[in-house]
């Protein structure tokens, strides 16, 4: 938004300074400036005084809250005795604002549920549109004017229990750092979350659970929707649309001033918000309002000179004071209230895609059959006629608008050519489109290898009242509300059986991996939460599970699933909480945790301790092996395998994202070098071993470079080529010679001696070898603590303990890098000349000059 002067913020004066309303008169804002000037030109044409020359009083045409009631009094008869554009003065003279004469009846009258509308003249018709839009805009701006006063009142006398607090919601403990979870939103009150795009209106009821790791949330009493206020707003909009419809021009009319009025008013912004609604349940509940909205939009679509309003992106008007204030001639033309032409809102047509997809899904599910025992089939909760009519109207509207958009596009291409010809769609764009089209899909393959098969077979009839209707509405909402990275597959014949695939969140050790869950909605859903299980292979291996919230066996521990005790607002809210809340919670709190060990009870405030880092490295390794490589290697030949249902999404995901995922994993290497040489005999982290009685045996398995393996299966160049550099070979040979693991031949000596010369920093014959030394405090407590973390016993004295520790690290070569850095450092130490050693003296620590081949 282009503004001159600072924008208002917290702590600023409640009265807006003139600079806050200024718009820089640049090229991008001239359109808005011109629109406001045209509005004021129109308003100057309205007659504002009584036509009686003996009276000439000013008529309250800009501020008359009782105007509609006065009009209704005479609009219920045929012919009507009142006009919306006419005022009766105290002198009893009636004046038409448009022509300044006594209003006359037009031959054409329009019948509405509110009364008969008749226009004295065309300017009077334009005034009626202006008046109705001003009235509507005023009602929309009123709550914002009262907001600062309410905010101040809250600060002076805070309500008990409204103190902001950080809630974990993960099923264990509080104290998460919101910034660590990618959240820089700052404090967010629950009632603000309804304004976040992508979340349904009822999302605030469980907002504290879903957003626990993204922000600090006010955890006082959950706000309740003011139903009376909501009904008043809906009633006003219905009334406005019913009265505007007979004021629209004929199809052949230029409609320049009407277009200008609609551009500057907030009405089409609210229409777009309603059409963009991501909750089919809310649409059905407010069916009367949506019927009027659809009717009005269809009228606009059939007027060629107004239909463009449905396809254009509108100026952003979040800070506009409304049409009445914009028309005020007191405000200078060069200093108008803020309306940004550079920031745009989505068009009505673009916004209708969401509700179109939801309605199609809802009708599809409502038409399904369900088993009620044996092989009998009965319809699922047939849709009421009025709801069916509404849904059909929504489908018809979008398809009509799409046809018009396609025709316009074809005409543009015919006239100007295809500007996109020769340009290919980028991988990111292609993947985004694929995600949008495959958020929710249906297949009975979901029933194959499902974790809750026994529950599914045991329940074949609806338990709770309207259960399946509720599920249908939820699934329809999910088609447009699921965040990127979440895919839902629903059983074709059982909408209460689902599988979910979630992509690990960036910034976590799960980033880019694919994680799968099975879901079953029990008989009493939505009174009780869904059943959910983590089903990806590898969770029960390698000492730790993927996350403390993903238990051995696959159970998912979250407050919202009632699998962990929490505060009342964190638990499942009967008939309010939704599947969407559960899925977003899992994505954010489990697969978005930067340090999974913080989810372990009692470790939430542990910071970046060695144990926390160790656990993170294990999770990264598991993610790379089971959530990445295993998916790419899978050929999906077995249709009975639990992963087979995800074949299409997995293949497409790796096609478009493989290179980016490999780059992401490569950033893990500096802190987790074991990814380049993984084998089961690597040391495992300290701490409890969930589900494991013993560590993995030290089987001498050759290490695998997991990054190279991922690159190879993706068909990409390995980031760490397996060709061993010559100097690395020499270092390996020198190490073996120094440890006496093979005989010393003349060629070996020459090779080793050559390496020594490269490493030497002077001309003498000695060489240098890198060794690790202990740098901790030389006392019994510290040295024993170090030995304990390295997994070895201490000696009888401090000196012997340190010597044993250094020997363990230098000779075995398997110590954890983080522990090495914590307790010591690497240095170069001078060694005796190899040639002198070969002449008869032994290597340090050895008593003979050589070893047999069998000993090597």
pLDDT of 579 reads: 93
pLDDT band per the 50, 70, 90 thresholds, residue 642: very high
Residue 755 has pLDDT above 60, yes or no: no
- In this structure, of 147-151, 276-280, 295-299, the range with the lowest mean pLDDT score is 147-151
- In this structure, of 72-76, 169-173, 459-463, the range with the lowest mean pLDDT score is 169-173
Other Cβ atoms less than 10 A from the Cβ of 63: the count is 9
Percentage of the chain with pLDDT > 70?
67
Helices H / strands E in the chain, number of each: 26, 17
Q: How far apart are the first and last CA of the chain?
A: 74
Q: Which residue has the higher pLDDT, 36 or 851?
A: 36
Total domains in the chain come to 4
Task: Indicate whether 638 and 754 sit together in one domain.
Answer: no
Task: Indicate whether 684 and 734 sit together in one domain.
Answer: no
Task: Indicate whether 763 and 808 sit together in one domain.
Answer: yes
pLDDT of 341 reads: 52
Residue 796 covered by a domain: yes
The pLDDT of 61-75, averaged and rounded, is 80
The 3-state secondary structure of 282-336, one letter per residue: HHHHCHHHHHHHHHHHHHHHCCCCCHHHHCCCEEECCCCCCHHHHCCCCCCCCCC
Residue 109 covered by a domain: yes
Residue 41 covered by a domain: no
The residue segments making up the domain with residue 120 are: 46-150
Q: How far is CA 698 from CA 370, 542, 683, 855, in A?
A: 54, 13, 9, 20
- In this structure, of 22-31, 144-153, 499-508, 837-846, the range with the lowest mean pLDDT score is 837-846
Separation between Cα atoms, residue 373 and residue 460, nearest integer Å: 6
- In this structure, of 38-42, 193-197, 632-636, 786-790, the range with the lowest mean pLDDT score is 193-197
Domain end call among 117, 150, 183: 150
Residue 447 has pLDDT above 80, yes or no: yes
Q: Which residue has the higher pLDDT, 581 or 188?
A: 581
- In this structure, of 356-360, 463-467, 777-781, 791-795, the range with the lowest mean pLDDT score is 463-467
pLDDT band per the 50, 70, 90 thresholds, residue 237: very high
Separation between Cα atoms, residue 608 and residue 610, nearest integer Å: 7
Task: Indicate whether 521 and 413 sit together in one domain.
Answer: no
Task: Indicate whether 413 and 435 sit together in one domain.
Answer: no
Separation between Cα atoms, residue 22 and residue 7, nearest integer Å: 10
Give the SS3 label for residue 490.
strand
Q: Which residue has the higher pLDDT, 535 or 347?
A: 535
Other Cβ atoms less than 10 A from the Cβ of 444: the count is 13
pLDDT band per the 50, 70, 90 thresholds, residue 221: very low
Is residue 342 within a helix (H) or strand (E), and if so which, with residue range? strand 340-345
Task: Indicate whether 468 and 406 sit together in one domain.
Answer: no
The pLDDT of 544-559, averaged and rounded, is 88
Q: Which residue has the higher pLDDT, 341 or 122?
A: 122
pLDDT of 295 reads: 92
Q: Are 83 and 95 in contact (CB under 8 A)?
A: no
Domain end call among 653, 681, 710: 710
Residue 609 covered by a domain: yes
pLDDT of 417 reads: 55
Q: Which residue has the higher pLDDT, 172 or 123?
A: 123
Residue 659 has pLDDT above 90, yes or no: yes
Of the spans 20-24, 200-204, 430-434, which averages the highest pLDDT?
430-434
As given in the structure block, the two tokens for residue 717 are: 């160049």
Separation between Cα atoms, residue 829 and residue 775, nearest integer Å: 15
Task: Indicate whether 367 and 440 sit together in one domain.
Answer: no
Q: Which residues contact 420 (CB under 8 A, 6 or more apart)?
A: none
pLDDT of 2 reads: 38
Separation between Cα atoms, residue 134 and residue 504, nearest integer Å: 48
pLDDT band per the 50, 70, 90 thresholds, residue 710: very high
Domain end call among 150, 183, 216: 150
Task: Indicate whether 794 and 660 sit together in one domain.
Answer: no
Please give the mean pLDDT across all residues of the chain: 73
Instruction: Name the residue among 392, 520, 417, 522 with its Cα closest to residue 463.
Output: 522
Residue 547 has pLDDT above 70, yes or no: yes
Q: Which residue has the higher pLDDT, 612 or 172?
A: 612
Residue 847 covered by a domain: no
- In this structure, of 85-99, 481-495, 521-535, 597-611, the range with the lowest mean pLDDT score is 597-611
Residue 293 covered by a domain: yes
Task: Indicate whether 386 and 432 sit together in one domain.
Answer: no
The pLDDT of 824-852, averaged and rounded, is 44
50 is catalytic: no
pLDDT of 828 reads: 60
Q: Are 584 and 478 in contact (CB under 8 A)?
A: no
- In this structure, of 570-574, 599-603, 773-777, 828-832, the range with the lowest mean pLDDT score is 828-832
Task: Indicate whether 703 and 731 sit together in one domain.
Answer: no
Residue 769 covered by a domain: yes
Separation between Cα atoms, residue 727 and residue 733, nearest integer Å: 10
pLDDT of 735 reads: 52
- In this structure, of 418-427, 565-574, 713-722, the range with the lowest mean pLDDT score is 418-427
Q: Are 544 and 691 in contact (CB under 8 A)?
A: no
Q: What is the CATH number of the domain that holds 458?
A: 3.10.110.10
One of 55, 89, 557, 787 is an active-site residue; which one?
557
Task: Indicate whether 506 and 655 sit together in one domain.
Answer: yes
pLDDT band per the 50, 70, 90 thresholds, residue 139: confident
Q: Is the pTM of this model over 0.85?
A: no
Residue 454 covered by a domain: yes
pLDDT band per the 50, 70, 90 thresholds, residue 161: very low
Percentage of the chain with pLDDT > 90?
23
HSE (CB half, 13 Å, CA atoms) of 700?
A: 0
Give the SS3 label for residue 433.
helix
Task: Indicate whether 413 and 442 sit together in one domain.
Answer: no
Separation between Cα atoms, residue 31 and residue 815, nearest integer Å: 68
Separation between Cα atoms, residue 202 and residue 579, nearest integer Å: 12
Is residue 820 within a helix (H) or strand (E), and if so which, with residue range? helix 817-823
Residue 179 has pLDDT above 80, yes or no: no
């Amino acid at each position: 938004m282009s503004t001159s002067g600072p924008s208002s913020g917290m702590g600023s004066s409640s009265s807006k300074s003139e600079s806050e309303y200024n718009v820089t008169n640049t090229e991008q804002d001239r359109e808005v400036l011109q629109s406001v000037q045209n509005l004021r030109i129109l308003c100057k044409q309205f007659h504002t005084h009584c036509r009686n020359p003996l009276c000439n009083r000013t008529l309250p045409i800009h501020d008359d809250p009782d105007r509609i009631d006065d009009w209704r009094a005479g609009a219920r008869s045929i012919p009507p005795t009142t006009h919306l554009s006419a005022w009766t003065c105290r002198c009893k003279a009636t004046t038409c604002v448009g022509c300044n004469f006594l209003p006359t009846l037009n031959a054409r009258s329009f019948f509405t549920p509110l009364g008969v509308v008749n226009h004295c003249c065309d300017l009077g018709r334009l005034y009626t549109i202006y008046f109705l839009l001003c009235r509507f805009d005023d009602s929309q701006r009123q709550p914002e004017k009262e907001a600062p006063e309410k905010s101040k009142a809250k600060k002076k006398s805070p309500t008990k229990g409204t103190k902001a607090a950080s809630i974990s919601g993960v099923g264990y403990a509080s104290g998460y750092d919101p910034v660590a979870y990618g959240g820089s939103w700052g404090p967010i009150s629950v009632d603000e979350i309804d304004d976040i795009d992508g979340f349904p209106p009822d999302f605030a009821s469980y907002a504290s659970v879903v957003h626990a790791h993204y922000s600090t949330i006010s955890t006082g009493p959950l706000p309740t929707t003011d139903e009376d206020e909501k009904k008043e707003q809906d009633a006003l909009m219905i009334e406005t649309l019913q009265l505007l419809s007979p004021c629209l021009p004929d199809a052949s009319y230029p409609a320049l001033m009407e277009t200008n009025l609609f551009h500057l008013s907030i009405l089409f912004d609210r229409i777009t918000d309603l059409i963009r609604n991501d909750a089919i349940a809310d649409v059905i509940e407010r069916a009367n309002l949506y019927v009027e909205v659809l009717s009005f939009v269809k009228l606009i679509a059939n007027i060629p000179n107004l239909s463009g309003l449905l396809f254009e992106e509108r100026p952003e008007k979040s800070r506009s004071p409304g049409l009445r204030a914009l028309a005020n001639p007191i405000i200078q033309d060069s200093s108008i209230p803020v309306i940004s032409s550079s920031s745009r809102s989505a068009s009505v047509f673009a916004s209708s895609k969401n509700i179109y997809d939801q309605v199609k899904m809802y009708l599809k599910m409502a038409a399904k059959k369900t088993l009620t025992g044996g092989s009998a089939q009965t319809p699922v909760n047939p849709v009421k006629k009025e709801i069916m009519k509404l849904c059909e109207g929504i489908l018809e509207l979008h398809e009509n608008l799409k046809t018009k958009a396609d025709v316009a596009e074809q005409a543009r291409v015919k006239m100007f050519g295809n500007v996109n010809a020769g340009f290919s769609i980028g991988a990111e764009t292609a993947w985004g489109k694929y995600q949008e089209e495959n958020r929710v899909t249906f297949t009975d393959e979901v029933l194959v290898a499902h974790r809750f098969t026994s529950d599914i077979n045991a329940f074949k009839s609806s338990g709770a009242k309207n259960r399946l209707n509720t599920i249908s509405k939820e699934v329809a909402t999910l088609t447009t509300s699921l965040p990127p990275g979440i895919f839902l597959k629903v059983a074709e014949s059982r909408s209460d059986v689902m599988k979910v695939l979630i992509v690990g969140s960036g910034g976590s050790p799960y980033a880019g991996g694919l994680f799968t869950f099975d879901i079953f909605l029990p008989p009493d859903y939505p009174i009780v939460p869904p059943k959910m299980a983590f089903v990806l292979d590898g969770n029960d291996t390698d000492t730790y599970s993927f996350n403390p919230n993903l238990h051995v066996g696959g159970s998912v521990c979250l407050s919202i699933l009632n699998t962990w005790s929490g505060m009342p607002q964190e638990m499942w809210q009967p008939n309010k909480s939704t599947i969407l809340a559960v899925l977003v919670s899992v994505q954010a709190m489990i697969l978005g945790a930067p340090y999974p060990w913080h989810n372990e009870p009692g470790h939430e405030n542990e910071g970046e301790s060695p144990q926390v880092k160790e656990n993170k490295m294990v999770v990264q390794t598991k993610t790379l092996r089971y959530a990445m490589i295993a998916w790419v290697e899978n050929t999906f030949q077995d249709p009975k395998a639990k992963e087979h249902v995800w074949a299409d999404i997995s293949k497409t995901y790796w096609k478009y994202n493989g290179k980016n995922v490999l780059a992401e994993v490569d950033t893990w290497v500096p802190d987790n070098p074991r990814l380049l040489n993984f084998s089961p005999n690597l040391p495992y982290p300290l701490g409890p071993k969930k589900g494991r009685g013993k560590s993995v045996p030290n089987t001498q398995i050759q290490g695998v470079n997991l990054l190279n393996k991922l690159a190879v299966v993706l068909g990409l160049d390995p980031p760490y080529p397996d060709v061993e550099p010559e100097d690395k070979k020499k270092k390996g040979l020198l190490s073996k010679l120094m440890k006496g693991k093979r005989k010393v031949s003349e060629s070996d000596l020459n090779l080793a001696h050559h390496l020594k010369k490269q490493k030497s920093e002077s001309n003498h014959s000695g060489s240098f070898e890198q060794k690790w030394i202990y740098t901790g405090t030389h006392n019994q407590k510290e040295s024993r603590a170090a030995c304990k973390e390295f997994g070895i016993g201490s000696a009888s004295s401090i000196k012997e303990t340190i010597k044993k520790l250094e020997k363990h690290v230098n000779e075995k070569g398997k110590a954890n890098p983080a522990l090495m850095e914590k307790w010591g450092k690497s240095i170069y130490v001078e060694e005796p000349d190899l040639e002198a050693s070969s002449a008869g003296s032994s290597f340090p620590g050895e008593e003979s000059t050589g070893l047999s081949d069998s000993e090597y």
